[in-house]
Structure 1
Amino acid sequence: MNKLTQISLAAFLAMPLGLPPALADTPSDILVIASNINDIVSIDPAEAYEPSSGELVGQTYDRLVQYDATDLETLAPGLATEWTADAEAKTITFTLREGVTFTSGNPLTGADVVYSWKRVFVLNKSPAAILGQIGWTPENYDEMVSAEGNTVTVRYTADVSPAFVLNVLASRPGAIVDMKTTMENEVDGDMGNAFLKANTAGTGPFVLRDYRPAEMINLVANPDYFGGAPAMRSVIVRHVAESATQRLLLETGDIDIARNLTGDQATALEGKDGIRVETFPQATVHFLSLNQKAEALQPPAVWEAARYLVNYEGMADSFLKGQMQVHQAFWPSGFPGALNDTPYSYDPEKAKQILADAGIETPFTVTLDVINADPFPDMAQSMQATFAEAGINLDILPGTGSQVITKYRARTHQAMLLYWNPDIMDPHSNAKAFAYNSNNGDDFYAPSTTWRNAWAVPDEINAETMAALAEADEATRLEMYQDLQRKVQQDSPIIMTFQASDRVALADDVLGYVHGPTSNFIYYRLVTKD
């Protein structure tokens, strides 16, 4: 690092955070981001569960297989160069990449892989449930994973496809940590958890130099990264909670990227000299759910009519502009298996005819629970107006997020506006939520929108969901998920409406920034400044 960069970096680290500094431009080899990062609890891959911590894990660790910054739609080699799967034997064998070292200088070995995944189960934090989906438990893990030389053998017990296993291992808790460094920093048998809460021990393109909770993150480039050294010598993420301050810092040239602008602020920056605004689809899907415990919402004709009473385009082109795009299937666009058909549009006359043909008497009133935070109240008011056109009166009940979700989990709502994020980037992650409910009993809680809306999913759809999970042929498997999406899209009490988008404002000279559909798919490695 040259003297100018050292001075510039020191100046940035000395700035009072949240206040506009007096610099004119960021250094050419330092990327400066303003973002709200006060959600971070831990950056240990075995514990990290928040969006900001997931983003940080993605910069500093690798997995055996992963979605790379160069192609977010293809599961690609990471720390493994190749793998062979035996679906019948429920076994996948990985060949590790030669010559990879951790940022400590320690060489990557198969023992690091075995240790990394085992500590997820020993620590038993929230991410353990993700790896547990393939049948691993603390009791059977030692029989499931083994290593010899540069080969790692993975066995699994769940009735799932190899593709699903690979996507589980490509998720955040699949990150490989430096066993030697971690064990050297172990305290009271914690497998280095206290150390990794605020330090990194990975192979990734960046290394954590400094982390101050709710203040800043300072990453420095790993010059020996197997995928090529990043162009940016350093990335600084400044905690700036106020969107107005983020905008001001970008306009004065004191940051390169503003991540948390309101829709109005992002729109105001469009076309401004030296700044561009980009929209990135996210994996979050939004939906209107109709609880089948409410008698008025049980007829399938009500489900069908509701699909024609949402003013999708009207909302997307006005107050949701830049925040959401119309999406009417349960798996988000941008990943294999997504169904991008949008067969429904606002047509109140058609909706009225559907209700009349089914002999449903109108008007009738339904309560609509909604989180009292943007943009949900505006969405609810739009639906209140459009549903009234067909004689369905929506009585809006606003509440805090915790109040609304608690009611949803208890199945005591009638209609509700909500959203869903996949746990892993595999279509089964959403299929199990929107197309599966094998036990609709009140005493059988399931963390799915089908159970929470008391929809007894038809047996054939339940069977197809589980068959898709186990299907070994990837092309066939993706076709099955598209078929499931069509069936839920056409005939269910869950009306898919939108896919969320993030609007990010960047300095014009920042190129190569990758902002994928979840925080796990945000990458700085390819960033350059022109």
Structure 2
Amino acid sequence: MNKFEFPKIRMSFLVCTMFVSVLGCNCMASTPKNVIVMAKALDDLITLDPAEAFEFSSTEILANVYDRLFIANPETPSEPKKGLVEEWWRSDDGLEYKFFIRKGAVFDGGRPLTSRDVVFSLRRAVFLNKTPAFILNQLGLHRGNVEQKIKVLDEQSLVLGVDRPYSPSVVLNILSAIVTSVVDESSLSEHFKDGDWGANWLRSNTAGSGEFRVSKWGVGEHLVLDRKDTSRSRITRIIIRDIREPATQRLMLSRGDVDIARNLTPDHIVALAKKTDTVTWSTDQARIFYLALNQSNPLLADPSIRGALRLAIDYQGIASHLLPGRARVHQAFLPLGFMGSLTETPFSLNLETARSLLDRAGFGEDLTFSVDVRSDPIALQIAQALQMNLGKIGIKLEIRPSDGKQVLTKYRARRHDIYMGYWGPDYLDPHSNAAAFASNPDNTDDAEQKTLAWRNHWTMPELTKDTDDALLIHDQRMREEAYRDIQRQVQADSPFIIVFQEKALTATTDRVKGFKLGLTSDQTLYADIVK
């Protein structure tokens, strides 16, 4: 009997045991009324520190734990909603912003949030210089000037200086990114160690003013969020169980062991949609699935090999057969729904042309590359499909599956050959993805801006300048055209092969209401859930 075939009484016992250990309560297989249990793969959850977090799971969780100055606005992306900000002002020359903080935000310990916490948090993210710090670097903020650029005016106001007159949409959207989350300076200062700004402690703890706080994180098992006294949520506790196998998620949802399943396959959704006690739906996501080719490998830096790889992918087959209802073919780095996104899909499977590109460049049939990919059923199927097609044109592809943490750590360290995975924007301005895919001002190992282009050793000074110049365009139509041109350049020849844009498939029991997935991870909020 395999692990998916336990008799119902045994599965109920296991779920009850889990609730007793985590919740301290007695229960049957169905979950308590004031508790939401969610099945979700958490293998990409590396840290809870907003100055370091850069993955989908951590972004979603931290959006429910921390407040930020602004909140993404999917209806009008160029005009983010006010978060902690009550009012704001921009100087005539566009180089200075003043923000007035609303009263009422309170940290876990009951201390009111002030502008000092905001300034501390922004400076901290820059000084730590972890991966997402490049988002703030885009405003000209770095270790050498951040203390002069971001200052407290009084308890409820602060000033932010930028180095150039950027489009206000860029500045305000950057201030909605998770890296700008406001942490409790007083609480965190108690955990400073060897000048780490409390980073070691905050990797597995939280100190925010949002609707929930993380009360427990059992790596590889579950994460527990508890409602705060000031929260408007009617749910007192949310348990996210680290369930990585879609079939197990479906089984647990059917038995009432979880309320929400997040990583189901299309065939699971079809089956669950027939049940009267289950609700299923799909939601457009800003996530794109792509391949990244490390240019430190001279073979992958060859345009002929890059071109052959582009033509060896069955884009439509992946979307239609492997991911029906879960993906649409998309080949540009700005997802649909973003200002300036491209709908053009110039590439399709063409093995004959792919092989001819290799022949003309003088490559034989002894090319071998490795691809790092998450141990996820869908991702592995895509990797296997690519492996088969590459074999037909004389390229051997070695698939190296691993959990999300290991794959991402290797990718960030630039030790990969080919990386295969998802990417989502950090904020709702087109520059978020443009800066990642089309900018690399410094390719050295200790660069401040460690973009995706940097991870892949791609140096392109002219394109980096084009991307940089787009930041200063204030006219919306001109900005849109600038980003379309940048995307076409990346499409034409770059280390990035964008395959599809994802649609999330979700299922809940009919007891759950108000759960909505956002276009981006930071827009998936738990406070509206009722049961």
TM range (shorter): 0.7 to 0.9
Q: Which amino acid aligns with 1:153?
A: V
> What stretches of structure 2 of length at least 5 have no aligned partner?
1-14
CA apart distance, 1:376: 5.1
Does the aligned pair in 2 maintain the 1:290–1:494 contact within 8 Å?
no
Q: Cα distance 1:32–1:367, how it changes in 2: closer, same or farther (>3 A)?
A: same
User: 1:342 maps to what in 2?
Assistant: 345
> Which whole-Å deviations, capped at 9, do the CAs of 1:320-357 have from their partners, x for residues lacking one?
335543111012234333323334444678x58x969x
> Which whole-Å deviations, capped at 9, do the CAs of 1:360-393 have from their partners, x for residues lacking one?
489964545333654455435545666788xx43
User: 1:526 maps to what in 2?
Assistant: 528
User: 1:3 maps to what in 2?
Assistant: none
User: 1:136 maps to what in 2?
Assistant: 141
Q: Cα distance 1:238–1:129, how it changes in 2: closer, same or farther (>3 A)?
A: same
User: 1:77 maps to what in 2?
Assistant: 82
Q: Which amino acid aligns with 2:36?
A: L
CA apart distance, 1:450: 5.4
Counterpart mapping for 1:63-462 below 5 A? 63-67=68-72, 75-86=80-91, 88-121=93-126, 125-149=130-154, 150-157=156-163, 161-183=167-189, 196-222=202-228, 224-225=230-231, 229-241=232-244, 243-261=246-264, 265-280=268-283, 281-287=285-291, 289=293, 293-294=298-299, 298=303, 310-346=313-349, 351=353, 360=360, 365=365, 366-371=367-372, 373=375, 374-375=377-378, 378-380=381-383, 382-383=385-386, 392-400=393-401, 416=418, 418-419=420-421, 421-422=423-424, 424-425=426-427, 426-436=429-439, 457=460, 459=462, 461-462=463-464
Bigger drift between 98-107 and 26-35 goes to: 98-107
User: 2:480 maps to what in 1?
Assistant: 478
Q: Which amino acid aligns with 1:480?
A: A
> Which whole-Å deviations, capped at 9, do the CAs of 1:274-295 have from their partners, x for residues lacking one?
2233334352331475969449
Query: Hey, what's the Cα distance between the residues in 1 that align with 2:444 and 2:141?
Result: 28
Q: Cα distance 1:355–1:43, how it changes in 2: closer, same or farther (>3 A)?
A: closer
> Which whole-Å deviations, capped at 9, do the CAs of 1:447-483 have from their partners, x for residues lacking one?
5665777766483x44322211333445532331122
Query: Hey, what's the Cα distance between the residues in 1 that align with 2:423 and 2:187?
Result: 34
Q: SS where residue 335 of structure 1 aligns?
A: coil
Q: Cα distance 1:246–1:403, how it changes in 2: closer, same or farther (>3 A)?
A: closer
Query: Hey, what's the Cα distance between the residues in 1 that align with 2:449 and 2:439?
Result: 10
Does the aligned pair in 2 maintain the 1:370–1:377 contact within 8 Å?
no
Does the aligned pair in 2 maintain the 1:81–1:96 contact within 8 Å?
yes
Bigger drift between 111-120 and 58-67 goes to: 111-120
User: 1:487 maps to what in 2?
Assistant: 489
> Which whole-Å deviations, capped at 9, do the CAs of 1:399-456 have from their partners, x for residues lacking one?
356799979987996xx46345256224334324433467899999995665777766
> What stretches of structure 1 of length at least 5 have no aligned partner?
1-9
> Which whole-Å deviations, capped at 9, do the CAs of 1:161-211 have from their partners, x for residues lacking one?
443333332222211123344446667876555664554432212234555
Query: Hey, what's the Cα distance between the residues in 2 that align with 1:157 and 1:258?
Result: 45
Q: Cα distance 1:369–1:197, how it changes in 2: closer, same or farther (>3 A)?
A: closer
Q: Cα distance 1:509–1:362, how it changes in 2: closer, same or farther (>3 A)?
A: farther
User: 1:26 maps to what in 2?
Assistant: 31
CA apart distance, 1:232: 2.4
Query: Hey, what's the Cα distance between the residues in 1 that align with 2:292 and 2:44?
Result: 28
CA apart distance, 1:253: 1.3
Q: Cα distance 1:345–1:75, how it changes in 2: closer, same or farther (>3 A)?
A: same
Does the aligned pair in 2 maintain the 1:371–1:404 contact within 8 Å?
no
Does the aligned pair in 2 maintain the 1:62–1:78 contact within 8 Å?
yes
Does the aligned pair in 1 maintain the 2:327–2:500 contact within 8 Å?
yes
Does the aligned pair in 1 maintain the 2:99–2:159 contact within 8 Å?
yes
User: 2:499 maps to what in 1?
Assistant: 497
> Which whole-Å deviations, capped at 9, do the CAs of 1:255-282 have from their partners, x for residues lacking one?
2112344565455434233223333435
Query: Hey, what's the Cα distance between the residues in 1 that align with 2:114 and 2:134?
Result: 25
Q: Which amino acid aligns with 1:108?
A: L
Q: SS where residue 499 of structure 1 aligns?
A: strand
Q: Which amino acid aligns with 1:219?
A: L
Does the aligned pair in 1 maintain the 2:425–2:520 contact within 8 Å?
no
Query: Hey, what's the Cα distance between the residues in 2 that align with 1:328 and 1:54?
Result: 24
The counterpart of 1:463, out of the listed 439, 462, 465, is 465
User: 1:515 maps to what in 2?
Assistant: 517
How many residue pairs match? The answer is: 505
Query: Hey, what's the Cα distance between the residues in 2 that align with 1:217 and 1:409?
Result: 27
Computing the radius of gyration over CA atoms, which structure comes out larger, 1 or 2?
1
Q: Cα distance 1:97–1:338, how it changes in 2: closer, same or farther (>3 A)?
A: farther
Of all paired residues, the percent bearing the same amino acid is: 33
Query: Hey, what's the Cα distance between the residues in 1 that align with 2:75 and 2:108?
Result: 22
Q: Cα distance 1:407–1:134, how it changes in 2: closer, same or farther (>3 A)?
A: closer
Q: SS where residue 430 of structure 1 aligns?
A: helix
CA apart distance, 1:498: 1.6
CA apart distance, 1:96: 1.7
TM-score under structure 2 length normalisation: 0.76
Q: Cα distance 1:327–1:241, how it changes in 2: closer, same or farther (>3 A)?
A: closer
Query: Hey, what's the Cα distance between the residues in 1 that align with 2:520 and 2:136?
Result: 18
Query: Hey, what's the Cα distance between the residues in 2 that align with 1:308 and 1:188?
Result: 51
CA apart distance, 1:87: 7.6
Query: Hey, what's the Cα distance between the residues in 2 that align with 1:298 and 1:393?
Result: 17
Q: SS where residue 84 of structure 1 aligns?
A: strand
Q: SS where residue 60 of structure 1 aligns?
A: coil
Does the aligned pair in 2 maintain the 1:369–1:404 contact within 8 Å?
no
Q: Cα distance 1:458–1:240, how it changes in 2: closer, same or farther (>3 A)?
A: closer
1:43 and 2:45 are equivalent in the alignment = no
CA apart distance, 1:78: 0.4
